[in-house]
Chains A and B, each alone.
Chain A
């Protein structure tokens, strides 16, 4: 039951980050939005954050150097300590990816692109349960 203080977008496509930022802005659920095109940068950023903050991480799967699942594995301890909710947001329609995501306890949600305002609101709603 944490309020989402920050939304972090991780996607290698800058276009997607711009669009998703706009959707978050329009929805008005959170003012603090941070977008990363490089997953490593996002990891570095996460290691420095305040652990009490409620953070929603919208993560793409298909990324160069570090894909979404590898990212989760790398940030596992971090995620456990902090209030980080991870939602996979991907253009993939591969059922294997969804299965893998649902099996992972630390991945809370799995959504397909493109992100809409309603979609985001429902994700936030799930986080607040």
Chain B
């Protein structure tokens, strides 16, 4: 292959690469989303723990602190207050809007369960910092969904926020498939947790699952696990290892605990929780939950003393983690008191839980349990009127929150619709992706063709120039030849002309001579005739003159004949 062709190929490659770069950078970048992705990555927890406080640069410390909070935050666990405030301070110092918005969001999580007003204030601050960022909106709407679904128990609101989050994604960032998957899982989570029926189909297919982020997979398995737990604990059990696998901290004690509670294997629950609490990092959240669960297992196993001690420890831990109200501890304590004979104190505690206006974590279920405990107590002591009154109240409460009447079934149907719609949107997004790829290929091909055509054109232009040069050269040569020929011809013409002039002159001379030859005898004749006309001559002279005339006439005749002969020649 010639050097020229290699050059052409190299030029094409460069042009193609530049075209690809232009295409790549024409896709809008979202820095908030990049940071969000970054903190969802799996990292070495030990390293983060050691370095987040003493990192070299402010950006590194920010990243490490974000990681640390994300790992410990796991959706709206209160606590780590100092770290959150520190994050906000650092983000303000660093000065980038994306980090500041994220810090506000982390701070808002501090109040997500305890103080909905403060939560909304901080999340609004985040939105105010980055008003037009769809990903941030998506996150905030999800947080609102969380409070509606799990804190306030308002299914309608939960549905509203999920659809809003969906709208933001479809409107602004259709290329982010992960976010749609996240929504789909959220909707399914709600259905599975509250529908308490066996799940007929899986919300994600294998392909979607393979590209989903770890938190999405985690929530996905969790939702199936809780969906199955009521009807089919054995099937639910198979999901626990998957859940654990997708968790940041590889400890599934709470989920195992839920499972053992369901199958009434209390000893196994106690074993796994004791082990978990012993090896648990005390700086992390959820330790109080584990302690509370262990106390509950002791209670279920009939070891009330141990249960009481463990419950007190759990209460202490709740306070350490920043919870002002400890409903779960109150509930367990009341149940233990009921078993150990302190019924008055227990009833007072149940009533305080029922009458509480606040909605702490699991408070809905706590309240339901408080109601059932009271109903059980009054029925067992033959206080049927009280039992009936509380049963009616419980029904009313359940209706207001989740209920299984017609209205709530409709709400669940809404969620199923949402889930289906998300499926369709996912397909649309996939189509978009495919179209994007096709577009890229087409653009690439076009760029390539244009490059090829351009280079070909340039090469041809070069070739044409060479050809034109050669043609010019040939033309010049031919011109020279022509000039030579013209010169030769003119020379020949000149010569001929000269010859002609010469011959012309000769001819003229010849004509002159001829006329002279003619004129000589003619003059003689004219003279003779003149003299005769004078009539001054004698007869003899006259005869003489006439004979001369005759002679001259003959001469003239001879000359005329001579000329005729010459003309004939």
Taking the complex as formed, is B520 at the interface, i.e. its CB lies under 8 A from any CB of chain A? Answer: yes
A residues less than 8 Å from B524 (CB atoms): 13, 15-16, 19, 114
Q: Which of B17-60 contact A (CB under 8 A)?
A: none
Taking the complex as formed, is B160 at the interface, i.e. its CB lies under 8 A from any CB of chain A? Answer: no
A residues less than 8 Å from B531 (CB atoms): 19, 22-23, 26
Min C-beta distance of A94 to chain B, whole Å? 6
A residues less than 8 Å from B516 (CB atoms): 62, 91-92, 94
How distant is the Cα of A117 from the Cα of B534 in the complex, in angstroms? 9
B residues less than 8 Å from A22 (CB atoms): 531, 534, 536-537, 541
B residues less than 8 Å from A32 (CB atoms): none
How distant is the Cα of A62 from the Cα of B534 in the complex, in angstroms? 27
Interface string of B520-555 (1 = CB under 8 A from A): 101110111011001011000100100010011000
Q: Which of A4-50 contact B (CB under 8 A)?
A: 13, 15-16, 18-20, 22-23, 25-26
Interface string of A68-106 (1 = CB under 8 A from B): 000000000000000000000001111000000000000
Taking the complex as formed, is B400 at the interface, i.e. its CB lies under 8 A from any CB of chain A? Answer: no
A residues less than 8 Å from B519 (CB atoms): 91-93
Known: A15-B552, A113-B526. A94 touches B512 (CB 8 A): yes
A residues less than 8 Å from B544 (CB atoms): 18
Size of the chain B interface, CB-CB below 8 angstroms: 21
Interface string of B495-523 (1 = CB under 8 A from A): 00000000000000000100110011011
Size of the chain A interface, CB-CB below 8 angstroms: 21
B residues less than 8 Å from A113 (CB atoms): 523, 526-527
Min C-beta distance of B532 to chain A, whole Å? 10
How distant is the Cα of A25 from the Cα of B541 in the complex, in angstroms? 13
Known: A16-B524, A93-B519. A26 touches B548 (CB 8 A): no
Please state if A114 and B523 are interface contacts (CB–CB under 8 Å): yes
Closest residue of chain A to B551 (Cβ to Cβ) is A15
Please state if B534 and A16 are interface contacts (CB–CB under 8 Å): no
How distant is the Cα of A93 from the Cα of B515 in the complex, in angstroms? 9
Taking the complex as formed, is A116 at the interface, i.e. its CB lies under 8 A from any CB of chain B? Answer: yes
Q: Identify which of B512, B526, B551 contacts A114 (C-beta below 8 A).
A: B526
Please state if A62 and B520 are interface contacts (CB–CB under 8 Å): yes
How distant is the Cα of A22 from the Cα of B516 in the complex, in angstroms? 24
Interface string of A107-121 (1 = CB under 8 A from B): 000001111110000
Interface string of B276-302 (1 = CB under 8 A from A): 000000000000000000000000000
Does more than half of chain B's interface fall in helix, strand or loop, or is it mixed? helix
Known: A22-B537, A91-B523. A15 touches B548 (CB 8 A): yes
Total of A-B residue pairs, C-beta within 8 Å: 57
Min C-beta distance of A31 to chain B, whole Å? 15
Min C-beta distance of A117 to chain B, whole Å? 7
How distant is the Cα of A101 from the Cα of B124 in the complex, in angstroms? 135
A residues less than 8 Å from B512 (CB atoms): 94
How distant is the Cα of A23 from the Cα of B537 in the complex, in angstroms? 10
B residues less than 8 Å from A92 (CB atoms): 516, 519
B residues less than 8 Å from A93 (CB atoms): 515, 519
B residues less than 8 Å from A23 (CB atoms): 527, 530-531, 534
How distant is the Cα of A22 from the Cα of B515 in the complex, in angstroms? 26
Please state if A19 and B536 are interface contacts (CB–CB under 8 Å): no
Please state if B527 and A16 are interface contacts (CB–CB under 8 Å): yes
How distant is the Cα of A24 from the Cα of B98 in the complex, in angstroms? 147
A residues less than 8 Å from B522 (CB atoms): 91
Known: A26-B534, A62-B520. A20 touches B527 (CB 8 A): yes
B residues less than 8 Å from A115 (CB atoms): 527
Q: Identify which of A18, A20, A91, A116 contacts B520 (C-beta below 8 A).
A: A91
Min C-beta distance of A114 to chain B, whole Å? 3
Please state if A13 and B526 are interface contacts (CB–CB under 8 Å): no
Min C-beta distance of B537 to chain A, whole Å? 7
Please state if B530 and A19 are interface contacts (CB–CB under 8 Å): yes
B residues less than 8 Å from A20 (CB atoms): 527
A residues less than 8 Å from B536 (CB atoms): 22, 25-26
Known: A19-B528, A115-B527. A13 touches B534 (CB 8 A): no
How distant is the Cα of A19 from the Cα of B549 in the complex, in angstroms? 11
Closest residue of chain A to B525 (Cβ to Cβ) is A114
Min C-beta distance of B556 to chain A, whole Å? 12
B residues less than 8 Å from A16 (CB atoms): 523-524, 527
Closest residue of chain A to B512 (Cβ to Cβ) is A94
Please state if B548 and A18 are interface contacts (CB–CB under 8 Å): yes
Min C-beta distance of B559 to chain A, whole Å? 12
Min C-beta distance of B516 to chain A, whole Å? 6
A residues less than 8 Å from B526 (CB atoms): 113-114
Closest residue of chain A to B528 (Cβ to Cβ) is A19
A residues less than 8 Å from B528 (CB atoms): 15, 19
A residues less than 8 Å from B541 (CB atoms): 22
How distant is the Cα of A113 from the Cα of B527 in the complex, in angstroms? 8
Min C-beta distance of B513 to chain A, whole Å? 10
How distant is the Cα of A13 from the Cα of B519 in the complex, in angstroms? 13
B residues less than 8 Å from A19 (CB atoms): 524, 527-528, 530-531
How distant is the Cα of A22 from the Cα of B545 in the complex, in angstroms? 11
Closest residue of chain A to B509 (Cβ to Cβ) is A94
B residues less than 8 Å from A25 (CB atoms): 536
Please state if B530 and A13 are interface contacts (CB–CB under 8 Å): no
How distant is the Cα of A18 from the Cα of B449 in the complex, in angstroms? 114
Please state if B527 and A114 are interface contacts (CB–CB under 8 Å): yes
User: Given contacts A19-B530, A62-B516, could you give 18 more A-B pairs where the C-beta distance is less than 8 Å?
Assistant: A15-B527, A15-B528, A19-B528, A22-B531, A22-B537, A26-B531, A26-B534, A26-B536, A91-B520, A91-B522, A92-B516, A92-B519, A93-B519, A113-B527, A114-B523, A114-B530, A115-B527, A117-B534
Q: Could you list 5 examples of A-B contacts with CB < 8 Å?
A: A13-B524, A15-B552, A91-B516, A93-B519, A94-B512
Top-10 shortest CB links A-B: A114-B527, A113-B523, A19-B527, A91-B523, A114-B526, A91-B519, A26-B536, A15-B524, A22-B531, A91-B520
